[in-house]
Amino acid sequence: MKILVLNSGSSSQKSCLYEIGDVIPKNSPEPIWQAKAEWNGDRAEVSIRTSRGDNLKNRITVGSREEAAGPMLDTLWSGITRVVSGPSEINVVGHRVVNGGQNYREPIVVNAEVRATITRMSAFAPLHNRAELEGMDIIAKRFGAIPQIAVFDTGFHSQLPESAYVYPGPYEWLARGIRRYGFHGINHQYCAERTAQLLGKDLRSLKIVSCHLGNGCSLAAIQDGHSVDTTMGFTPLEGLMMGTRSGSVDPGILTYMMREGLFTGEQLDELLNQKSGLLGISGISGDMRQIVALMKEGNSRAKLAFDIFVHRLRSCLGAMIAALGGIDALIFSAGIGENSAEVRAAACANFGYLNLMLDSEKNQSSPQDQDIAEKDSAVRVMVIRAQEDWAIAKKCWSLLSANVGSTGASARLETD
């Protein structure tokens, strides 16, 4: 089965093509084709790579998402990066959808009803859900009646206990859909499953805290194989300090600034999502690599940004461990989690009382899918490569196989 994964961001379009046989491999294979389009204003940078080693980079003028993503997808069957004869050779397209609300916990074939729900949830995640709907439209135009499957970032957190997902505002909020949804669920679930595999343990027997630390950051407390607490909430703004997002702040600050006429709601939204976090404190960058480099050069604001990031990470780690009543494994994933030895070391430093002992040499050795705790540590510390696209591809394979009975019959799956 050839599975195309489309990951639609607010200013980017990523895509991968996987081929899965009769059995899902234990280890994630490299995609046979992968592409990314990132745009700034009316210019898009497009890069394509195949498993044969073919590479293509291009810069195009765009006025819409389709003008960036369309030509990118065409390279699947044309030019030096051609890997299939045409659109009909691809069996299914999987989409990462940020917010499925309370309606959808599991991956589902996209039809009119599913689209209506994703559209309705766009009010809660406007930049993401609307981009994902545009991605579905682009696929429909280029591939025709191919099955499209939505995989929801909120799905893994759908079993949060009521005490964790209900906000302590008026109870009527809940009826309006105002609750903790949680995000990064696709990667949190993948990392937990991969950790259990690497440790040779039953996932349901492990108490895990998963740290997805990238430009967006969140933690998940995982017990019995599902999320029981998480740091992101109604939107991806809550919780940890992030690259350009503030994370949690006293809401009284916001009401004060609005009362004083300093900001409108839209201006506050932009301030908290795009001008805060590492960027807001350092005044220079939202990239942890630059923050660490500047800190080592003696930049005081970069050091403050790093220290705040670590302080909040430790605080939230403590909260997740308390929610679980203990911890067997701590996971670091995504751009910062996988690549910043400094953040990993600082995050673990205050948990010696749990007999959590980091192996400094392993931590510094660019680990990937590896346990970096000392042999005698009571807590395993894992660095797991984020594999959202592969996780989506696996879910698509499983859903189609279950629905049609064989991978070769996927085109018969009803899509409307």
Question: Exactly one of 54, 74, 137, 153 is catalytic; which is it?
Answer: 153
φ/ψ of residue 39, rounded to 5: -125, 150
C-alpha 143/C-alpha 170 separation (Å) is 46
Q: How far apart are CA 61 and CA 41, in angstroms?
A: 9
Say how many Å lie between the first and final Cα of the chain, rounded: 21
* Residue 412, helix vs strand vs coil: helix
Q: How far apart are CA 100 and CA 81, in angstroms?
A: 34
Count CB atoms within 10 A of the CB of residue 163. 8
Q: Is 224 a catalytic residue?
A: no
Phi and psi for 182 in degrees, rounded to 5? 80, 150
For residues 50 and 33, is the Cβ–Cβ distance under 8 A? yes
**How far is CA 390 from each of CA 13, 21, 184, rounded to the nearest angstrom?**
16, 14, 14
Q: Token pair 């660490």 is at which residue?
A: 292
Residues known to be catalytic:
153
